[in-house]
């Protein structure tokens, strides 16, 4: 009874609190105004998709097909309008708005500037920074990169980033990760700054975020646990989704394609053709201060290998509400279902596109969904507060025979929340925050277990002598898992950027990272497909220290050159180890050092009609225990990309060279026939685009041939990478 009364009391207060909040925000909206304008390009043609933001507020818009934009509910007083678009120079206009007015700021012309000092990233410090102010190496994938390559899942986009290669589905930045059988990523993944890792394996689900929602992807290379905590040993990937625009936006894509047969008739397993197709679309609109975005997609793939089909559909939504120009709350979510066959490894090298007979018919059903919430409060031009969180739920079921004979069924949840406060003083930016994380799993593989962690962090960044920017920070994480001893980690970082001239930046940083073992690594107990895995409740966290020194130079806005030398030390690395009895157990077995160099050159020529980039990465990954190479690390990566625009057409080409692994897990040979088969990879992708407008809706038609040379290589052990694929894509958006 008392409980009910208390609830009633609480309920009775709720409307009052709500009214107080509404009243407070109404005051902020009291003297609203509106600004509008038009953006044109260097040929004085309307420029669509340009971001227009009002500095120090949550307000913004994008230009429509006519280049026009308008922003409502603008606060009266002096404001700065920032107009930006990737590939163009950034414009700023300082104006003063009178109360209750509509102000046309006129026509603003943007000129192409593909390489800009003003490119802004948010991942390195949890707030906006220009690229040359960051003391670490960065990678960027733009929305147009995703569209031009018809990227369906994020892992396919990451494989073009300098210094990155994918070991099957596991991301390896500069040798940080080998292959850990789908558990325990050493790269931390975020969506809009919110961690998105599964609760059971602490792995990345590349298929849970539809690529048509993405604005850009930022990659920070090197350990990042001083800000992000566990899993950020090798780097951090942040997926930034698109904002909701003031004007109605619509986007639709349809694609279809076909897998080539192998160049060798022995490997072809079917006379039928193997096709793939799919569509995606989304709409968004902002009704006064409420923005809504809805989207969905469907993908179907017959697979180039036997027992490798896949069907996936998902639906997504985003709600954004501006309480005032300074308060915004956003909710976003996605629901994904996937049915796929399971191809683990080949039958033998003579049957490289077929699984062993006892694995035919293996299937996996997956359901994943997440809900994120983010509240942004811009307290002043120099202070902001962010409260954010995520609930991420995963379930997979398969029919793979195991020692219980009934297939596997696993459900896991991850709940995360964080409060971040940033303050900018005259020359110093201070960021501090606290976060909490909870994981739970109910599974016949991992058992029924839970884990949690809490953390606090602090970072300071300041400009010294106008030319040197120093960064320092520290984070403490406390974590526990049921039936396992609790533990804590303290990880600091230091960085410096020296800018002697505009366009020249010398950087250095040293940072610490750690990864707490996942529930899966500690508790897995299964016997499937020839692998028997047993638990290990004595696992400790693995640690890393990364040092980097580099220089970034921009020449005449047309070329950038970046070279970095890096050195990392790893301790207590967790690897799945075959025991003398034949089982696999995750153990802290290895200490390692990895050093290397990375050089990248970007250039734009022919009045920005031709642009390209070239990168080379060398890593020397040494296992200190065995004095041998680390497993599953290619030592040389060489990537080239070239794009040329010819009127309404664009031709693009990617070439990637990936040196073959020096070492694989030799024990795989006990289970996988011909496990030692591997070669250097030479992969060439070619694309031809045609941009056309039909009254006045823009369409883009893309013809794409991936792996045009039909080069056969393995992407792990006993697994041929995708053969040549032909894809035709039609896109429209307005």
Partner 1 sequence: MFEQIKSISSWVFLFIIILFLHCDKGLSPENVEPPFTGIRGTVYFINWPAPNNPPPDTVFDVRLILFPDFPPADFADEILSGRAVLYPTLNDEKLPIPLDSLDYQIPLQPGRYEYFAVARQYGDNLFADWHVVGHYDTTFSDTLPTPIQINQGQLLDSINILANFDSVLFEL
Residue ranges binding partner 1 (CB under 8 A)? 263-264, 266-267, 349-350, 352, 605-607, 610, 612, 640, 642, 644, 653, 655, 674, 677-679, 681-682, 684, 708-714, 720
Q: How far is the CB of 150 from partner 1 (least distance, A)?
A: 20
Residue 398 or 654: which CB sits closer to partner 1?
Answer: 654
- Residue 380: φ, ψ to 5°: -160, -175
| Shortest reach from residue 210's CB to partner 1, in Å | 32
How far apart are CB 361 and partner 1 at their closest, in Å?
24
**What's the closest the beta carbon of residue 707 comes to partner 1, in angstroms?**
10
Between CA 155 and CA 166 the distance in angstroms is 7
18 or 651: CB nearest partner 1: 651
Sequence-ordered list of residues with C-beta below 8 angstroms from that of 320, at least 6 positions apart, any chain: 243, 244, 286, 290, 291, 292, 293, 328, 329, 330
Which DSSP string corresponds to 526-546?
A: EEETTEEEE--TT---EEEEE
| Residues 238, 129: Cα–Cα separation, whole Å | 14
Of 74 and 658, the one with the shorter C-beta distance to partner 1 is 658
**Residues 336 and 313 sit within 8 Å (Cβ to Cβ):** yes
Q: Give min distance, CB of 217 to partner 1, in A.
A: 25
* Cα–Cα–Cα angle for 508, 509, 511, rounded to 5 degrees: 165
Q: Shortest Cβ distance from residue 170 to partner 1 (Å)?
A: 21
| Listed residue (52, 101, 48) closest to 77, CA to CA | 101
Query: Among residues 531 and 657, whose Cβ is nearest to partner 1?
Result: 657
**Helix ranges restricted to H, 252-323:** none
Tokens of 215: 């604005």
Between 313 and 711, CB nearer to partner 1: 711
- Nearer Cβ to partner 1 (350/626): 350
Q: Which of 284, 280, 526 is nearest to 410 (CA)?
A: 526
Cβ nearer to partner 1, comparing 264 with 649: 264
CA-nearest of 217, 230, 233 to 123 is 217
Query: In this structure, are residues 469 and 497 in contact, taking their beta carbons and an 8 Å threshold?
Result: yes
The first and second tokens of residue 616, run together, are 């080379």
Give yes or no for a contact between 234 and 220, defined as CB atoms under 8 angstroms apart. no
CB of 232 to partner 1, least distance (A): 35
Residue closer to partner 1 by CB (options 547, 655) is 655
Q: How far is the CB of 676 from partner 1 (least distance, A)?
A: 11
Report which of 713, 516, 548 is spatially closest to residue 619, judged by C-alpha positions.
Answer: 548
Between 699 and 711, whose beta carbon lies closer to partner 1?
711
Q: 233 vs 714, which CB is nearer to partner 1?
A: 714
Closest separation in Å from C-beta 705 to partner 1: 11
User: Whose Cβ is closer to partner 1: residue 13's or residue 605's?
Assistant: 605
CB of 102 to partner 1, least distance (A): 45
CB of 646 to partner 1, least distance (A): 10
Q: CA torsion, points 344, 347, 351, 355, in degrees to nearest 10?
A: -40
Q: Which is nearer to partner 1, 597 or 610 (CB)?
A: 610
Report the candidate in 119, 180, 610, 196 with the shortest Cα–Cα distance to residue 372: 196
Q: Measured from the CB of residue 607, what is the shortest distance to partner 1 in angstroms?
A: 8
Q: Contact, 545 vs 512, CB < 8 A? A: yes
At residue 156, φ and ψ (nearest 5 deg) are: -70, -30
Q: Judge whether 77 and 252 are in contact, CB under 8 Å.
A: no
Residue 239's alpha-carbon distances to 123, 143, 218, in angstroms, are: 9, 11, 7
Residue 222 phi, psi dihedral angles, 5° rounding: 105, 165
Q: CA 191: distance to chain centroid?
A: 7
- 375 vs 655 by CB, closer to partner 1: 655
d(CA 443, CA 51): 46
Would you say 391 or 657 has its CB closer to partner 1? 657
Pinpoint the alpha helices (H) of 236-381.
Answer: none
Task: Give least dist CB 700 to partner 1, A.
Answer: 22
Q: How far is the CB of 643 from partner 1 (least distance, A)?
A: 10
The sign of the torsion formed by the CA atoms of 161, 238, 299, 168 equals positive
């Amino acid at each position: 009874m008392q409980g009910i009364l208390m609830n009633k009391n609480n309920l009775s207060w709720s409307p009052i609190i709500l009214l107080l909040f509404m009243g407070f925000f109404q005051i902020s909206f009291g003297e609203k105004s509106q600004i509008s304008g038009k953006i044109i390009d260097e040929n004085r043609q309307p420029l669509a998709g340009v971001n227009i933001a009002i500095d120090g507020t949550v307000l913004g818009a994008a230009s429509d097909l006519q280049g026009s934009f308008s922003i409502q509910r603008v606060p009266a007083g002096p404001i700065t309008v920032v107009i930006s678009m990737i590939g163009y120079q950034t414009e700023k206009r300082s104006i003063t708005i009178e109360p209750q007015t509509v102000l046309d700021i006129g026509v603003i012309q943007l000129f192409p500037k593909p390489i800009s000092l003003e490119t802004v990233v948010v991942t390195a410090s949890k707030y906006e920074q220009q690229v040359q102010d960051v003391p670490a190496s960065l990678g960027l994938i733009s929305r147009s990169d995703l569209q031009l390559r018809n990227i369906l899942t994020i892992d396919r986009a990451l494989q073009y980033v300098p210094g990155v290669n994918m070991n099957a589905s596991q991301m390896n930045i500069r040798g940080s990760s080998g292959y850990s059988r789908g558990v325990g990523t050493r790269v931390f993944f975020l969506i809009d700054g919110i961690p998105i890792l599964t609760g059971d394996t602490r792995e990345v689900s590349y298929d849970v975020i539809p690529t048509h929602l993405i604005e850009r992807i930022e990659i920070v290379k090197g350990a990042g646990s001083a800000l992000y905590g566990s899993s950020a040993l090798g780097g951090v990937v942040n997926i930034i989704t698109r904002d909701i625009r003031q004007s109605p936006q619509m986007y639709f894509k349809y694609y279809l394609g076909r897998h080539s047969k192998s160049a060798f008739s022995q490997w072809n397993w079917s006379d039928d053709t193997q096709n793939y197709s799919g569509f995606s679309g989304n709409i968004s609109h902002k009704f006064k201060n409420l923005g809504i975005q809805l989207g969905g997609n469907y993908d179907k793939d017959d697979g180039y290998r036997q027992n490798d089909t896949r069907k996936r559909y998902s639906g997504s939504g985003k709600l954004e509400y501006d309480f005032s120009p300074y308060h915004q709350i956003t909710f976003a979510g996605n629901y994904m279902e996937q049915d796929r066959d399971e191809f683990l490894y080949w039958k033998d090298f003579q049957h490289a596109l077929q699984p062993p007979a006892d694995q035919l018919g293996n299937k996996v059903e997956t359901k994943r969904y997440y809900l994120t919430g983010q509240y942004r409060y811009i307290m002043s031009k120099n202070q902001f507060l962010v409260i954010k969180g995520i609930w991420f739920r995963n379930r997979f079921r398969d029919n793979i025979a195991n020692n219980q004979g009934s297939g596997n069924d696993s459900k896991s949840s991850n709940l995360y929340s964080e409060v971040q406060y940033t303050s900018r003083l005259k020359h110093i930016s201070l960021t501090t925050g606290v976060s909490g994380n909870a994981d739970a799993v109910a599974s016949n593989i991992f058992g029924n277990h839970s884990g949690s962690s809490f953390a606090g962090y602090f970072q300071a960044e300041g400009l010294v002598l106008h030319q040197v920017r120093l960064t320092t920070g520290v984070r403490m994480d406390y974590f526990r898992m049921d039936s396992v001893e609790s533990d804590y980690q303290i990880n600091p970082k230091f960085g410096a950027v020296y800018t002697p001239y505009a366009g020249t930046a010398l950087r250095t940083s040293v940072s610490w990272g750690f990864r707490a073992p996942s529930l899966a690594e500690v508790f897995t107990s299964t016997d499937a497909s020839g692998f028997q895995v047993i638990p290990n409740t004595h696992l400790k966290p693995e640690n890393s220290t990364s040092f980097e020194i580099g220089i970034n130079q921009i020449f005449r806005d047309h070329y950038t050159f970046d070279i970095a030398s890096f050195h990392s030390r790893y301790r207590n690395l967790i690897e799945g180890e075959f025991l003398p009895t034949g089982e696999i157990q995750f153990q802290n077995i290895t200490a390692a050092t990895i050093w290397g160099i990375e050089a990248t050159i970007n250039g734009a020529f022919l009045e920005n009609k031709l642009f390209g980039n070239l990168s080379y990465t060398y890593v020397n990954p040494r296992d200190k225990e065995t004095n041998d190479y680390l497993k599953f690390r290619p030592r040389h990566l060489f990537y080239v990309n070239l794009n040329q625009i010819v009127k309404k057409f664009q031709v693009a080409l990617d070439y990637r060279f990936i040196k073959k692994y020096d070492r694989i897990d030799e024990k795989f040979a006990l289970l996988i026939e011909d496990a030692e088969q591997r070669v250097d990879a030479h992969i060439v992708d070619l694309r031809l685009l045609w941009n056309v407008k039909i009254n006045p809706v823009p369409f883009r038609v893309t013809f794409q041939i991936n792996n045009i040379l039909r080069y056969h290589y393995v992407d792990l052990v006993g697994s041929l990478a995708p053969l040549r694929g032909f894809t035709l894509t039609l896109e429209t958006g307005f």
